[in-house]
Amino acid sequence: MSLPTRKPSIRLVVSDMWFDLLIYALSENTKNISDQNTIQSANALMEKLLKYSRPYTDEKTGIDCADIRFFPDEASQMIWQLLVVCGFYLDEDVDFYSVLKENHISNPGKEP
């Protein structure tokens, strides 16, 4: 008797252009980052996306799309990879964390 297959619980459907951008971001992280864990994660995600995503054409719009499935830990890794690539373009004068702290002080809530 075989074990049941786990199905990833997070679904992301993107156009072919956005799929290309996800792969590009991961590819950039393999070239421009010195942290080996980030590089390994980017390579693993890129391999998974290229192997297991399902291409299709949306019947209503005619747009080529990719149906991507993630397990929660993979979705978390993908978000981290996108943050890393966005970090290349961060304006160091921007400080949204201070705004977050101010909002937290004026609207205190429970600790996470």
For residue 23, the surrounding DSSP H or E stretch is helix 16-32
Q: Could you state, in order of their start, the residue ranges of all structural domains in the chain?
A: 10-106
Q: How confident is the model at residue 93 (pLDDT cuts 50, 70, 90)?
A: confident
Which residues, including other chains, have CB under 8 Å from residue 53's CB and lie 6 or more apart?
Answer: 19, 66, 67, 68, 69
**Which residue in 4, 83, 5, 2 sits closest to 41, CA to CA?**
83
- Global pTM? 0.80
pLDDT of 15-67, one tens digit each? 999 999 999 999 999 998 889 999 999 999 999 999 999 999 999 999 999 99
Distance, CA of 67 to CA of 15 (rounded, Å): 9
Beta bridge partners of 81: none
Hey, which of 1-5, 80-84, 91-95 has the most confident mean pLDDT?
80-84
Confidence of residue 69 (pLDDT cuts 50, 70, 90): very high
**Average pLDDT over the chain, rounded to whole?**
90
Backbone angles phi, psi at 70, to 5 degrees: -130, 145
